[in-house]
Chain A
Amino acid sequence: MIKVTIDGRDVELENPVTVLEAAKQAGIIIPTLCYFEGLTPFGGCRLCLVEVEKLPKLQTSCTLMTADGMVVRTETDQIKAARRSVLEFLLINHPLDCPFCDKAGECDLQDLVARYGPEAGRFAEGKRRHPESFDDPIIVRNMERCVLCTRCVRMCNDLQASYSISVTGRGSHSFVEPFSGGKYNCEYCGNCLTVCPVGAIMSRLHRHTYRPWFVEKEIETVCGFCGVGCSMVLQMRENSIIRAIPRAEVGFNKGLLCVRGRFGYEYVESEAQLTTPLMRVDGELKQVSWEEAITFIARRLKEIKDAFGGRAIGAIASGRCTNEDNYMLQKFIRFVIGSNNIDSSARNYYAPAETYLESIFGQGITANLISGIANSDGVLVVGGDPTAINPILGLQIRASWRSGGKVIALGAPGGLKRFVAYELMPTPYSEEIVLSAIVGRLLKGKALSGENTAVEAKLRSLRIPSDEDMEVTGISPEDIARASDDLAGMATSVVVIGPDIIQRERASKNLFLLGAIAYLINARIFLLSERPNYQGVMDMGCLPDFLPGGRPVELEMFRHKIEDALGMKAPEDRGLTLFEMINEAETGGLKALYVMGENPLFNIPDSARVKKALGNLELLVVQDIHLTETAGIADVVLPATAWPEKEGTFTNLERRVQRVRKARRGKLASYGRDDWKIIADIAERFGMTRKYHRVEDVWEEIMHVSALHAGLGYEDIADGKAVWPYSGEPLRGMEGDFSVEGLEDLPHVQDSEKPYLMIERSLYHSGTFSRRSKALLSIYPEPYLMINPVLSERLGLAEGEKARISNERGVLELKVKLNKDVPDGQVLLSNTFEGFGAMGLIGFSTGPVIGSLYIRDNTVRVEKVLV
C-alpha cells in the first residue's frame, strides 16, 4: 500500500501509479497536453508540472511514479507561473487563427490558455510558417498548429500499430508527417485525429462542416460495418451525421475505430438511397405506394403458398439488419408462411463454421471476448487478414504481439506482416495438409486429455502427412515443427478463423483441424465476421435448421416450446439453405424469394448463374436501402431504413448484444421504413394478430421465445452486460457425433498454370455499401487487380496498366496494382465495385458436411490489354 498526499488529500494506492493518476483518483485534475490515457507517457509538454516535497525541481506528474510518503502540490503560484510560461512558449509558433479553426471549442490549448493565461504573449518575432497540407483525401494537416505532443504518433504506433506517421525534423522544425510528406497512404483509422489536442490534424470530411457547436445531438450506437461491433457516437446536425467518433469510456473498442466505422457512414446519405417502393410494371420498376406494394406482395405470396405450399417460398435474412428485423423475417417465413427456407449470407462461411464447431465442442465455443486477445500469449491466424476483415479485433492481435505474444499466420499475413515472427506461406489450397501436419506434431508432444472423446477418436485416425507429403505445400517440416512447438508453448492462446479457410472444399476437415489445434493447446476460438450481425442472424433463427436461441428445428421438444410461446406452428423439417434455395429456384422448386438487406447477385459467386436462378422465380421481393444488383431484377423493391435510422440490436462475433440507435430519419418522412415493420405489415395481411408498435415489442417477444435471450432487456443491453452466456440458458449437453471429410486421406493439391482469383477483403471497403461512401472511395476509388511483382514481370504488366482477366464465366478489364505480399499463383480482386465483383468470375459448390460455400473453378487467365 502506497500512501501519498496530494493537495492535502491523502490517497491510498494499491499499486504504484503516476502522480497524475493518483491525483485523478483523488478527484484532482492536473492539466495535461501530451498525456493521453492508454498511450505510453511522453513527458514533453511540461504542463503537468507539480511540486513534490524534497525534490528540488518541479516534476512532470504524468511520468513521476508515486512513492510512499510523497507530498505533492498541484496548484501553487510557482506551478501556475510555470504553466503560463509553457503555454506562452506553445503560442510562439501556434497561429492565432482560432476563429477559422474547426477545432475551436474543443481545443485543449484554447481551454488551457483560458485557464492559465498568458493574457498576451510577449513573442514579437516571426512565427514558423508551414503551409497547410491538402494532399490527402482524408486528413488535412496544419503543422503550424501542432504542439508536438506526439499523441498522434504514439497512437499510430502504440495502439493502431500502423507506424504510418512520424515526427520528422528536429527542434522547432519538427513536423508530424506520413512517409510521403503529403498523402498518408495509411490505414486511415483516424485514431490519430481523436487524440490531437489542437487543430493540427483534422478530418477533411468535416472541414468547416463540423464545429463543436454544430452538434445538436449525440447518439450512442454501434458500428454497422463488421462483426466486431465497435461502440461509436454519431454527432448530428439537423438530419445529418456530421461525425462518427469513438468514446474512450464506452465499448470494448476503448476509443478506437477503423476506417470503415469512422469514415464509412456516408452511404446512408447517398443520393442513391431508395425513396419509394418500386414495382415491376411492363418489365420496368415503377414507383408505387406502400399500400400498393404491400398488398401486391401479400397477394402473390398467398397465391404461391396456396398453389405450391409454403415450402415453395423462401427468405434471405441479413447480417446488416438488426436482430429485431431478422427475428421478424424468420417469424414471418417460418410461422406465418410455414416454411423453414430461411438463410443468409452467413451461410457463406460464418454460420456453418459456427454450427459445426458447436457440434464438436458445444454451443458458445466461439463466444470469446475480443479484448482478451491482447492478453493472450499467442495467436494462430488462418483464413484471412483480421486487420482488414475485423480491424479492431486485428489490433488486439497486434497488441498481443507487442506485449510479447507469438503470432503465427498461415497464409499471407496482410496487416499482420510486422507482427509475425515468420511467414508460413503454403501453396494455394494446401492448408489442410499443413494443418494436419501441425496437429500431428502437437499430438506427438502431448498426451490426449480424454476430455472430448469424439474429437480424440477422430484424431487417432487422422492421416498425418509425411515429410514427402509436405512437399506440395512449400512449407518445410522444420517450419512445421517450429510453428507447432510455438503453439504448444502457448498458455493463453487464441485461434482466429477467417472466411478463406472455410470457403474450401472439405471445409469440415479444415475446421476440425483448427478445432483440434485449439483443443490441444487450449485456445479460444474466434470466427471472423464481415457483417455486423451474422451472429444475430443465427441467434434469431434465420437458419433452415435452427429456431431462435439456437434450438434445432427438428427436435420436437424445442419446436413445441416455441410454438406454444407464439401460438403458431412451424414446419417440422429443416428448410433449404441459401444455396439450396438458389438451386431450387434454378430448377423451379422455389417460386418466391423474399430478400431482406442482402444482394445475392453480387455477394454469391457465379453471378450469372444466380441471376438466372432468381430470374426463374415467380416472385422476388427485395427490401434494401439502395437499388442493388439484386433489387434491379426484383418484382417488388421496398425501401428500408439504414443502420443509423433505426432502433434495435446487433450481436457481434463475440456474442455481445448491443444497442443500435436511431440518429436520423430517412430524408423524408415517407421514405424507408424499418425492416421489421415492413414485414410485420405484410404478416398482418396474412392474419398475424400480434401487433408491434415499437421495436421494444419485437425484442420482448425475442426474450420470450429465445431461451438464450430470456430476461435480457434493453436496459441490460445498454449497460453492456449482454455478453454470452446471457441471463438465458445456453444449450448444453448436445451430445452427438460429427463427421469430417477425408480424415484418413490428404487432399490432392494440383499445380495450376493459371493463377487463382482470390477475393481481396479490403480494409477500405465492405461490398455494396462502401462503394457509396465518398471517403472510402477517395482512399480506394476504383477496382484493380492486385498481383505480385513476379507475375507482373512475367506478364509484362506494370503498375497502373490494364489487365484482362477471364475464364468461362466472363471477362473483366482492370488496372493492375502491384503488391509483393500477394502469394505466388494468386491474383486478388475485391468484391466491391459494380460490374467488377470478384464473385462474378468464381464458381461454387457447397460442402457436403457443413453446407458452407466452397469456391472452385476460380482460375483465371491474366493478360495485358494492349492499347
Chain B
Amino acid sequence: MEKFLLKNIENPASASLEVYLKVGGYESLNKALQMEPADIIAEVKAAGLRGRGGAGFPTGMKWDFASRDVKFPKYLICNADEGEPGTFKDRPILEKNPHLLIEGMVISAHALKSEMGYIYLRGEYPYAKIVLEKAIEEAYATGYLGDNIAGKGVGFHLSVHQGAGAYICGEETALIDSIEGRRGQPRIKPPFPVNVGAWGMPTIVNNVETLANIPLIVSIGAEKYAAIGNPECPGPKLFSVSCCVERPGVYELPMGTTLREIIYDHAGGVRGGRELKAVIPGGISTPVLTPDGIDCPMDFVNLPKRGSMLGSGAVMVFDDTVCLVKVCWRAMRFFEHESCGKCTPCREGTGWMRDILERIEGGFGREGDIELLQDIALSITGKTFCPLGDGAAGVVLGFIKNFSDEFMYHITNKKCMVNKDSQSAG
C-alpha cells in the first residue's frame, strides 16, 4: 500500500517544512480552506474515519457534536500522550512528519471553528517536543498558523503542552484537567468535552493519527478514503509491532489487515523462527489472544468479536520463551502505578492483583489465587470511573482465560513453566 501517514519518513529531513512542501504538503489545507467548515465535517463523516486513540469513536460524529455547541472559543486538542505500553505508532508522525499533524490540525480547526489548539505530548518524548516546536515555528513563519492562515482569514494558534508522566492523562477528560494545570484525573461525563471541555468550553480531543488522516480525506475525498481497508472502519492504520518478532517497528497498513499478515508478512515473523505463544493485539490494556486468533482482521469490528480490542493497534508478540505470568504481573504493576487513584476498585484492586501476581510469579502462589484474581477482576469490571480499571481487570481475565495452565503450573510447582530453573520458591 502506498504510505500516506509515514510518507517520506525515510528522508532524514522529512520533518522540515521544506521537504514536506516538496511532497505536496499543505495542499490539502489549501483545498480545505476553500471549503465550508460544515462540508469538511460532512466529508469526514462520510469517510467513516474512526478515532485512532483506542476507543474508535467516529470522528465525524464527534465533530458534529462539537460544532453544534454554540459556545466559543472552542479548543482543539491533539492527544499525543501515547502511553499505552507497546504503543509507539504516533511517534514517527510526531518526530518525522510533524507538518502532517499540523496540517491535519489546521484543517480540523477550520472545520470546527476553533482558534486555539494544543498538542498534549507525553513527557517521555522530549525529542518530539523539539521537532514539533520547530515545525510549529515554521508553520507560523509561513502563515500556516496564525491569525490569517494562508491569507484566508482563518485563525488558529497551536502550542505544545508537555505531560509529565501519567498514563491516565491519555484519557481525554484527564488530559483536559492536565492542560488546565490540575491533577490529571478523569471527569464526570456527561457533560462531554465536546460541550464542556477545557476551561468549560467545547473541546475536541483527537489522537495524533486521527488528525493525521484528515489531510488524506480532504485530498482524496471521502469515497476513495472509505475504500481503504475494512469499509466499516476504513483508512490507513499504523500498527506498532514489538516484542518477539524479527522486525519490530511501525507499519502503515489498511485497517483490517490480519494479525497473521502483520506478524509474518511485515514484521518478519516470530524471532528466530520460534513458536508463537500469544499476542496482545492493541496495547497492554487489550486482552491477550492465543495463536489461533491471529487470522482476525485488526480493526474495531472484528477484534471485539474475538474477545479483545483494537486499542491503539500495538501488537505485542510473545514466543514460547516468555512467561505470561510475568507479563501479566508486569502489566499489573503498570496499572497500579498509573491508576490515578480516583475510584476505589481501580486504586485498591490493581495493587491487590499485582500483589497476588507477584506472589505467584515468585513461587509463592496459593491455591485459590486464580479464583481470587478472577473475582477481584470481576469486582472491578464495570464499576470503575474510567476504562483504565476495566482494562486492568480485562488483562487479568484474558490471561487467566487463555493461559490458566501456566498460572496453575506456577502455583503448584512454585516455579516458572518457561524458565524452569530460574524460579524456585525459598
Direct contact of A and B (CB under 8 A): yes
> B-contacting residues of A (Cβ < 8 Å)?
41-47, 49, 56-58, 63, 65, 82, 85-86, 88-90, 92-93, 122-123, 125-126, 147-148, 167, 169-174
- In the complex the two chains form, is B336's CB within 8 Å of A171's CB? yes
The distance in angstroms between the C-alpha atoms of A666 and B352, with both chains bound, is 55
Query: Quick one: which of A44, A65, A122 contacts B343, CB cutoff 8 A?
Result: A44
The distance in angstroms between the C-alpha atoms of A85 and B345, with both chains bound, is 8
- In the complex the two chains form, is A89's CB within 8 Å of B348's CB? yes
Interface of A is mostly: loop
Interface check B278, CB cutoff 8 A: no
The distance in angstroms between the C-alpha atoms of A65 and B359, with both chains bound, is 43
- In the complex the two chains form, is B384's CB within 8 Å of A89's CB? no
- In the complex the two chains form, is A45's CB within 8 Å of B344's CB? yes
Known: A43-B188, A46-B345. A167 touches B382 (CB 8 A): no
- In the complex the two chains form, is B339's CB within 8 Å of A44's CB? no
- In the complex the two chains form, is B345's CB within 8 Å of A171's CB? no
Interface check B258, CB cutoff 8 A: no
Query: Quick one: which of A63, A65, A170, A172 contacts B348, CB cutoff 8 A?
Result: A172
Interface check B349, CB cutoff 8 A: yes
- In the complex the two chains form, is A170's CB within 8 Å of B166's CB? yes
Known: A44-B385, A45-B344, A46-B383. A167 touches B337 (CB 8 A): no
- In the complex the two chains form, is A122's CB within 8 Å of B341's CB? no
> A-contacting residues of B (Cβ < 8 Å)?
166, 183, 188, 190, 336-345, 347-352, 355-356, 359, 372, 379, 382-385
Chain A contacts of B384 at CB under 8 A? 46
Known: A41-B188, A171-B336. A89 touches B344 (CB 8 A): yes
- In the complex the two chains form, is A92's CB within 8 Å of B348's CB? yes
Chain B contacts of A125 at CB under 8 A? 352, 355-356, 359
- In the complex the two chains form, is B341's CB within 8 Å of A148's CB? yes
The distance in angstroms between the C-alpha atoms of A85 and B349, with both chains bound, is 10
- In the complex the two chains form, is A89's CB within 8 Å of B183's CB? no
19 inter-chain pairs at a CB distance below 8 angstroms, sorted by A residue, are: A42-B342, A44-B385, A45-B343, A45-B344, A46-B343, A46-B383, A47-B344, A49-B383, A58-B383, A63-B188, A65-B190, A82-B379, A88-B379, A89-B344, A92-B348, A125-B356, A170-B183, A172-B350, A174-B341
B332 to chain A, nearest CB (A): 12
The distance in angstroms between the C-alpha atoms of A118 and B379, with both chains bound, is 13
Chain B contacts of A44 at CB under 8 A? 342-344, 385
The distance in angstroms between the C-alpha atoms of A89 and B352, with both chains bound, is 9
- In the complex the two chains form, is B385's CB within 8 Å of A46's CB? yes
Chain B contacts of A174 at CB under 8 A? 341, 347
The distance in angstroms between the C-alpha atoms of A126 and B352, with both chains bound, is 9
- In the complex the two chains form, is B347's CB within 8 Å of A172's CB? yes
Interface of B is mostly: helix
B357 to chain A, nearest CB (A): 11
Closest 5 CB pairs of A and B: A85-B379, A89-B348, A125-B355, A171-B339, A174-B341
Closest to A174 in B: B341
- In the complex the two chains form, is B347's CB within 8 Å of A148's CB? yes
A555 to chain B, nearest CB (A): 57
Query: Quick one: which of B183, B337, B352 contacts A92, CB cutoff 8 A?
Result: B352
The distance in angstroms between the C-alpha atoms of A123 and B190, with both chains bound, is 35
Closest to B190 in A: A65
Identify 16 new A-B residue pairs, CB closer than 8 A, beyond the known A148-B344, A171-B341: A46-B343, A57-B383, A58-B383, A63-B188, A85-B379, A90-B344, A125-B352, A125-B356, A125-B359, A126-B355, A167-B183, A170-B183, A170-B338, A171-B337, A171-B351, A172-B339
- In the complex the two chains form, is A89's CB within 8 Å of B345's CB? yes
Chain B contacts of A47 at CB under 8 A? 344
A22 to chain B, nearest CB (A): 17
Query: Quick one: which of A46, A63, A65 contacts B344, CB cutoff 8 A?
Result: A46
Closest to A63 in B: B188
- In the complex the two chains form, is B351's CB within 8 Å of A92's CB? yes
Closest to B339 in A: A171
Known: A58-B383, A123-B352, A125-B352. A172 touches B336 (CB 8 A): yes
Chain B contacts of A58 at CB under 8 A? 382-383
- In the complex the two chains form, is B345's CB within 8 Å of A86's CB? yes
B185 to chain A, nearest CB (A): 9
The distance in angstroms between the C-alpha atoms of A174 and B351, with both chains bound, is 13
Closest to A57 in B: B382
The distance in angstroms between the C-alpha atoms of A287 and B136, with both chains bound, is 86
The distance in angstroms between the C-alpha atoms of A125 and B366, with both chains bound, is 12
B341 to chain A, nearest CB (A): 4
Chain B contacts of A148 at CB under 8 A? 341, 344, 347
The distance in angstroms between the C-alpha atoms of A44 and B356, with both chains bound, is 24
Closest to B358 in A: A125
Known: A123-B352, A125-B355. A86 touches B344 (CB 8 A): yes
Chain B contacts of A93 at CB under 8 A? 348
The distance in angstroms between the C-alpha atoms of A85 and B343, with both chains bound, is 13
Closest to B369 in A: A124
- In the complex the two chains form, is A167's CB within 8 Å of B348's CB? no
Question: Residue among A44, A47, A93 with the most chain B CB within 10 A?
Answer: A44
Chain A contacts of B344 at CB under 8 A? 44-47, 86, 89-90, 147-148
Chain B contacts of A41 at CB under 8 A? 188
Chain A contacts of B337 at CB under 8 A? 171
A170 to chain B, nearest CB (A): 5
A80 to chain B, nearest CB (A): 13
The distance in angstroms between the C-alpha atoms of A122 and B353, with both chains bound, is 12
A582 to chain B, nearest CB (A): 56
Chain B contacts of A42 at CB under 8 A? 342
The distance in angstroms between the C-alpha atoms of A90 and B352, with both chains bound, is 11
Question: Residue among B188, B343, B348, B383 with the most chain A CB within 10 A?
Answer: B348
Chain B contacts of A173 at CB under 8 A? 341
Query: Quick one: which of A57, A89, A167 contacts B379, CB cutoff 8 A?
Result: A89
Chain A contacts of B338 at CB under 8 A? 170-171
Known: A49-B383, A82-B383, A86-B383. A171 touches B356 (CB 8 A): no
Closest to B348 in A: A89
Chain B contacts of A45 at CB under 8 A? 343-344
Chain B contacts of A63 at CB under 8 A? 188
The distance in angstroms between the C-alpha atoms of A105 and B210, with both chains bound, is 55
Chain A contacts of B355 at CB under 8 A? 125-126
The distance in angstroms between the C-alpha atoms of A92 and B344, with both chains bound, is 10
The distance in angstroms between the C-alpha atoms of A125 and B332, with both chains bound, is 15
The distance in angstroms between the C-alpha atoms of A172 and B338, with both chains bound, is 10
Chain A contacts of B345 at CB under 8 A? 46, 85-86, 89
Chain A contacts of B385 at CB under 8 A? 43-44, 46
Chain A contacts of B190 at CB under 8 A? 65
The distance in angstroms between the C-alpha atoms of A57 and B383, with both chains bound, is 8
The distance in angstroms between the C-alpha atoms of A57 and B393, with both chains bound, is 15
